[in-house]
Structure 1
Amino acid sequence: MENKRLCKSRNDRIIAGVCGGIAEYFNWDPTIVRLVFIFCGVGILAYIIAAVVMPDSPYL
Structure 2
Amino acid sequence: MAGNNKLYRSQDKKIIAGVCAGLAEYLGWEVSMTRLAYVLISIFSAAFPGVIVYLVLWVVMPEK
Q: Give the count of matched residue pairs.
A: 55
> Percent identity over the alignment?
40
Partner residue of 1:19? 20
Instruction: Please give the TM-score of this superposition, normalised by the length of structure 2.
Output: 0.78
Where does the alignment leave 5 or more consecutive residues of structure 1 unmatched?
A: none
Q: Partner of 2:16: helix, strand, or coil?
A: coil
Q: Which runs of 4+ in 1 moved over 4 A?
A: none
Residue correspondence of structure 1 range 25-36 to structure 2 within 5 A: 25-36=26-37
**Quick check: 1:50 aligned with 2:57?**
yes
Instruction: Please give the TM-score of this superposition, normalised by the length of structure 1.
Output: 0.82
Q: Deviations over 1:12-58 (max 9, x none)?
A: 1000000000011111111111112111136111111100000001x
